Structure 1
Amino acid sequence: MYLSLAAIRFLLSLPSAVAVGLLLLPRLMDVEGQPGPSTAASLLLRLRAAGAESGRFKAAVAALGLIRAFLGFALLYATARQIFPAEISIDFRTLSEFTIGTSVGKAWIATQLIAFLFAGLAIARLFVQSEFVEQATLVVGVLVLATISVTGHAIDDGLPRWTQASFLLHTAAGLTWLGGLVGLIWWMLTARGKLPEAAARLAERWSLVAKVAMVLVAISGFAIAWENVGSVPNLLATPYGRLLTLKLIFLCGVLLAALLLARYLTRRPAGEFNFDWYGKVGVAETLFGLALLSIAGYIAVITPASHETNLYWPLPFRLSYIATWGQKPAMFSSIWWWGVAALTLAVAAALIWWTPATRAYRRFATPAIASAALVALAVSLSTEAYTDTYDDPTQDYTAESVARGFAHFQELCTGCHGAQGEGNGPLAKDLKNAQGVLVQPADLTAPHVGTHTIGDIFHWLTHGGQSGVMPSFREQLDTDDRWDVINFLLMLSYSNRARFMSPQPMIQWLIAPDFALVDPDEKAPSLFRLRGAPTLVSFARCAAASGEAAQEREKSLTIAHEAAKAAGAHHVTIYDDACSAQTKGWEPVHPKQVEAAYSVINRYPNEPISEEIEEAHFVIDRSGYVRARFRKFAPDDASATKLAGLVAELSREPLIEINLHSH
């Protein structure tokens, strides 16, 4: 169904583009083949004469306008067929209800009204000789081109307004360029008896229009890709991204042909114009443009790369500074040697370019050697990758997911990796690979865990580890369970650094796992929704303390609650029933899972790890990062003052939009 919808979009776009091109072309022509006047006083006369010159295009424009208008009904049916389940038949009544009752249908009505207005104006040109009608037809024609995008992703209410506007600008500029190019090449290939200077002047004026259109296409295309692709890897890991990459290749073909035509215009002999050569190169540019249009029609109706969940990375490697040079490789390692080769080749390319004795070869030698330098640099930045490397998780990074992953880890992984993931489990000393070589299980709390993507870890859980020792857990854990384990491993990898958290603020490196909050009004149903102001997340077990310790804990919780309130911070509390209700703030829906998750990072030097948190207070900044921790609050330790100062400092920091799976 996607293919048929894309084909209809192509058939909608092309007639409209050619019609607008045929309207635009006469306005770039000289009257009777003579150079156009340059004075403002005679400009109106030239435009009127150009309108008369366009008389031979009037019937074609009217026919193309009608084709576009009536093809819109086929688009409506194809769109409805894609949205409705296959078992539901689409009759006139169903189609009418869909058109009137949905935002997609209402957008279609608006575009059809504009299309029929354009067709009506195009027909009126057959009977009325008016400059106003000519200009109105051209303006409405460009509007028809812009609104073609409304039948695709531009109608998505979830997109920012500037992205939606970029769609309109992108299609209007791109299709105006393509339609004008078709008209120009048709004129060139049929230009028998035309003066060379008239052809050159037309080509030069068209070149200016094309340059403006391409700049608009590039700017708006970047804005669209920024929102719909999401990341550079998605260009290869998703169907949308791969098609967009192919579209960029065709765009390079368009620009190369345009460059050849522009060079010809600047170097042609005076009084000559090679119509055949110009037309043939223009045909090549047009074919590339039609390929662009066909791909654009298809990617406009498929899932954007940033929303795609089925990612497939086709290469056995990926580029990563963190996983290569970021690990400070040893001198004379392969990473180091490839880096040296890249630097040496880059210096050689520069010397060949600037040395007078080698300048005769620089046009070819410098690009070749510079390309080799880029390849060497890429190799030095390469690390192993898998088909799942850029997979998107099916489970959000939440405390509930971490707790589930924690349980799976304890059941299946502690034998090798140890209870705390440090690679010291009871089976660790006897593990051997297929060659009989002893293999030490990975320390999952070490910083090197951050050099892998979460998709890498998912691949190892699914197919087995790199060393050949870790088995596949595909049978024991379904897809969601594996992503739960990965969310736990993300927390675990932070645990070593988390030991040193204190009331002093740390850099933004540890993202707080989200969790659901009890909120009848649904104003802040999760921790993540509290972003915008710092949050104090407090844990306490009041029933575990007695006597003087119980009184101290109660005082600590009271000070924490009042200090957070006075500082203007949110307060989220995970307390047991023995704690005073006066000290409680926002409460989680699943307190046990939240406690289990945060116990992973509630570590202290030289102290045993516990899954239960007696008392701890984490300060989360307005963007969602854990920045500090208090063990307790006391009247005489200035902890309340420290919290107030910390909240004030964090409140002044800019709000950062974070991905909850950033690692």
Structure 2
Amino acid sequence: MYLSLAFVRFLESLPSALAVGLLLLPRLIGEDGGRFRVPVAAAAVFRALLGFVLLYLIARQIIPAERPIDSALLWEFTLGTSVGKAWIATQIVAFVFAGLAVARLFVSSDLLDRITLWTGVFVLAMVSVTGHAIDDGLPVWTQVSFLLHTAAGLTWLGGLLGLIWWMFTAHEKPPEVAAKLAERWSMVAKVAVGLVAVTGVAMAYENVGSVPNMLATPYGRLLTLKLALLCAVLLCALAIVRYMHRRPADAFNVDWVGKVGSLEAVFGLGLLGIAGYIAVITPASHETDIYWPLPFRLSYIATWGQKPIFPSPIWWWAIAAGVLAIVAAAVWWTPATREKRLYATPAATIAALFCLAVSFSTEAYTDTYNDPTQDFTAESVTRGMTAFSENCVGCHGAMGEGNGPMSKDLKNAQGLKIEPADLTAPHVGTHTIGDIFHWLTYGGLSGVMPSFSHVLDVDDRWDMINYLLMLSSTNRSRFIGPQAMIQWLIAPDFALAEPKLADPGEEITTFYKLRGKPTLLSFARCNATGDEKAALDASLVKAAEVAHAAGAHHVTVYTGDCPAFAKSREPLRPAAVEKAYSIINRYPNVPYTPEIAQAHFLIDRSGFVRARFKQFGPDDGNASQFGAQAAILAQEPIVEINLHSH
């Protein structure tokens, strides 16, 4: 179905693009374009009629296959869906364009020609409306980019096809007329291709999501191929431009320009075919089945970020890159080697870039950029903690520090002693979550850690990875204090219970939805008595007061007889939330406990843990420090959290 829909979109775009090109080219040199009127009208009518086939295929793709499509259902789909309404809009414009093109067969008018041309450009822009641009969840600038991208790209392609037609059917024209047309079309093409490049970047930012997705997803791989074809197009265009600059003043080789233009058009048709296909498949940013095809990836954190000691392979590759870059510059600027610089300099530059890339490369797997099937929530973390305690503590230890009871006796197949990884060490951050998923699925690099795919299903493995993300932060989290730190520790999400005094229309159902302004997350177990009970109650009441005074959200995870005034929004599953956050509620030389006697975490508006207060005492200054820091955090820009860069 995808191929059928993509093919029809290709057939729909091509004739309207050619019609616009044949309308535009004669205007560039003042021709009346009379010999192109019949082809323009035929192409416009064909485009309008083909729209009905497109509607059926779109409906067939969305409506379940077991449900037959009749005229009544198709009518309901057209009038009752956003895709159908968008199709109506495009079809109206297409028939207006067809009507104007047919009218040109009987009426000669410069005004009619102008109106027909701009209506055709509008038809080209509307091609995207029945594709990904229909997604109303996209930002306005992205939706506008879709319209400009298709209008500019198809105008360029149509003009190129029209130029080839003109070149091969205008042998009686003087060479200077052909040269004039080629030069003026070149200016239009530069603007169109420039617009395609700018809007293409904007669209890729929204639909691809990351650089790795360019190779790790079907959408991204096709977009990479599209970029390769665009480079081929630009090389052909460059060849024509070089000829235009060097040709004799009184000559113009129409056949040669036509042949190079034909090759450029072939690449352009390939671009159009790919564009039609990626318009109907899942964007890379929405893809969940991500396959990384290379055995390596580029990473600063995993290479230079580890501060490699000289000498090492990383240093040698970087030095080689520097030497080759110097050679490339020397060849370019040395007079004696100028004859060879067109070949030697690019070759040396490419070799330098290759060596530099190798210095940044680290091992990768098919799962390296996999996205988790389980959200980073407190519930997931606690499930992962249980799975870890049942399967991993023998080697890695109860807190993942590589000191389990079996750690001293581990040996690989060659009999060499192997030490389990310390999962709280900084090296954990050099791996992607997909790397960890791969090792859980297929076993560790040393050959000692077994595969857990037969013990843990996919969701269980991602639960464990969410726990490991928390666990890997424990060494650094020991030192979280009242002074705000940089953004690095992600606060796990959790479900919120319905507040007793909810505002009308309020739909804050998760901790994640509190993002936008700072939040104070308070934990307490009110099981003390006497003076300890009074001091704890006073601290909790003070926490509620400072959160309210700072304009921050307040979420409380209290057990026992805590003061009612101090309570605010509460989690739906408090035990899971307390257990998850207990992993990072650690202090130096204090034994770990899954219970939190009292702690107050300051979460910024992006969802990062930034500070922690043991209590809010009358004379410790924590209340004033919280207010000052909450005011600063409220002014920070919101940063999108990405678990892949944990």
- Report the TM-score when normalising by structure 1: 0.95
**Alpha-carbon distance, 1:340 to partner:** 1.4
Amino acid at match of 2:508: A
Q: Which range moves more in the overlay, 213-222 or 344-353?
A: 344-353
The 3-state SS of whatever aligns with 1:394 is coil
After superposition, where does 1:375-524 map in structure 2 within 5 Å?
Answer: 375-519=354-498, 522-524=506-508
Which of 510, 517, 523 does residue 526 from structure 1 map onto?
Answer: 510
The equivalent residue for 1:635 is 618
Q: Within 1, Cα distance between the matches of 2:204 and 2:569?
A: 39
Q: Within 2, Cα distance between the matches of 1:481 and 1:639?
A: 40
Q: Which range moves more in the overlay, 325-334 or 244-253?
A: 325-334
Q: Within 1, Cα distance between the matches of 2:639 and 2:363?
A: 31
Q: Is 1:553 aligned to 2:532, yes or no? A: no
Q: Is 1:64 aligned to 2:43, yes or no? A: yes
**Alpha-carbon distance, 1:232 to partner:** 0.5
Q: Is 1:28 aligned to 2:28, yes or no? A: yes
Amino acid at match of 2:471: L
The equivalent residue for 2:283 is 304
Amino acid at match of 1:228: N
The 3-state SS of whatever aligns with 1:576 is strand
Q: Within 2, Cα distance between the matches of 1:20 and 1:504?
A: 63
Which of 225, 231, 253 does residue 252 from structure 1 map onto?
Answer: 231
The 3-state SS of whatever aligns with 2:472 is helix
**Alpha-carbon distance, 1:604 to partner:** 0.2
CA contact (8 A) 2:494 2:512 kept: yes
**Alpha-carbon distance, 1:660 to partner:** 5.2
Q: Within 2, Cα distance between the matches of 1:160 and 1:391?
A: 26
After superposition, where does 1:98-497 map in structure 2 within 5 Å?
Answer: 98-497=77-476
Q: Within 2, Cα distance between the matches of 1:644 and 1:158?
A: 36
CA contact (8 A) 2:382 2:467 kept: yes
Q: Is 1:4 aligned to 2:4, yes or no? A: yes
Q: Is 1:600 aligned to 2:583, yes or no? A: yes
**Alpha-carbon distance, 1:661 to partner:** 5.4
Amino acid at match of 1:483: W
The 3-state SS of whatever aligns with 1:541 is strand
Amino acid at match of 2:570: E
**Alpha-carbon distance, 1:361 to partner:** 2.5
Structure-2 change in CA distance of 1:233 and 1:115 (3 Å): same
The equivalent residue for 1:95 is 74
Q: Is 1:654 aligned to 2:637, yes or no? A: yes
Q: Within 2, Cα distance between the matches of 1:360 and 1:29?
A: 40
Q: Within 1, Cα distance between the matches of 2:49 and 2:598?
A: 71
**Alpha-carbon distance, 1:345 to partner:** 1.5
Q: Is 1:540 aligned to 2:550, yes or no? A: no
The equivalent residue for 1:45 is none
Q: Within 2, Cα distance between the matches of 1:347 and 1:57?
A: 55
Q: Is 1:614 aligned to 2:600, yes or no? A: no
**Alpha-carbon distance, 1:625 to partner:** 1.0
Q: Within 1, Cα distance between the matches of 2:622 and 2:160?
A: 71
Q: Within 1, Cα distance between the matches of 2:498 and 2:345?
A: 65
CA contact (8 A) 2:478 2:586 kept: yes
The 3-state SS of whatever aligns with 1:573 is strand
The equivalent residue for 1:47 is none
Q: Within 1, Cα distance between the matches of 2:230 and 2:425?
A: 45
Q: Within 2, Cα distance between the matches of 1:490 and 1:408?
A: 14
Q: Within 2, Cα distance between the matches of 1:29 and 1:474?
A: 69
Structure-2 change in CA distance of 1:661 and 1:380 (3 Å): closer
Identity of aligned residues (%): 68
**Alpha-carbon distance, 1:592 to partner:** 0.7
Amino acid at match of 2:559: D
Structure 2: stretches of 5+ with no match in the other structure: 500-504
Q: Within 2, Cα distance between the matches of 1:537 and 1:559?
A: 13
CA contact (8 A) 1:396 1:660 kept: no
Q: Within 1, Cα distance between the matches of 2:210 and 2:380?
A: 25
Q: Is 1:18 aligned to 2:1, yes or no? A: no
**Alpha-carbon distance, 1:577 to partner:** 3.5
CA contact (8 A) 1:513 1:660 kept: no
Q: Which range moves more in the overlay, 353-362 or 21-30?
A: 353-362
Structure-2 change in CA distance of 1:2 and 1:159 (3 Å): same
Q: Within 1, Cα distance between the matches of 2:9 and 2:632?
A: 53
Amino acid at match of 2:628: G
Q: Within 2, Cα distance between the matches of 1:585 and 1:518?
A: 10
CA contact (8 A) 1:309 1:392 kept: yes
**Alpha-carbon distance, 1:569 to partner:** 1.3
**Alpha-carbon distance, 1:29 to partner:** 2.4
Query: CA offsets per residue over residues 182-211 of structure 1, 9 Å max, x none?
Result: 111111112222100010001001101101
Amino acid at match of 1:306: S
Amino acid at match of 2:236: A
**Alpha-carbon distance, 1:527 to partner:** 1.5
Q: Within 2, Cα distance between the matches of 1:232 and 1:655?
A: 22
Q: Within 1, Cα distance between the matches of 2:279 and 2:157?
A: 18
The 3-state SS of whatever aligns with 1:487 is helix
The equivalent residue for 2:60 is 81
The equivalent residue for 2:502 is none
Q: Is 1:645 aligned to 2:624, yes or no? A: no
The 3-state SS of whatever aligns with 1:459 is helix
Q: Within 2, Cα distance between the matches of 1:661 and 1:406?
A: 20
Query: CA offsets per residue over residues 85-116 of structure 1, 9 Å max, x none?
Result: 11110011110000011000000001000000
**Alpha-carbon distance, 1:519 to partner:** 2.8
Q: Within 1, Cα distance between the matches of 2:353 and 2:644?
A: 31
Query: CA offsets per residue over residues 414-437 of structure 1, 9 Å max, x none?
Result: 111000000000011111111111
Q: Within 2, Cα distance between the matches of 1:27 and 1:361?
A: 44
**Alpha-carbon distance, 1:399 to partner:** 1.1
**Alpha-carbon distance, 1:357 to partner:** 3.2
Q: Which range moves more in the overlay, 443-452 or 580-589?
A: 580-589
Q: Within 1, Cα distance between the matches of 2:335 and 2:188?
A: 40
Q: Which range moves more in the overlay, 131-140 or 220-229?
A: 131-140
Structure 1: stretches of 5+ with no match in the other structure: 31-49
Q: Within 1, Cα distance between the matches of 2:355 and 2:33?
A: 56
Q: Which range moves more in the overlay, 361-370 or 558-567?
A: 361-370
Query: CA offsets per residue over residues 535-569 of structure 1, 9 Å max, x none?
Result: 110000002x2222111111111111111111211
Amino acid at match of 1:345: L
Q: Within 1, Cα distance between the matches of 2:560 and 2:234?
A: 70
CA contact (8 A) 2:433 2:643 kept: no
Which of 548, 551, 557 does residue 574 from structure 1 map onto?
Answer: 557
Query: CA offsets per residue over residues 96-146 of structure 1, 9 Å max, x none?
Result: 000011000000001000000011111111111222211111111111100
Q: Within 2, Cα distance between the matches of 1:215 and 1:352?
A: 31
- Report the TM-score when normalising by structure 2: 0.98
Amino acid at match of 2:539: S
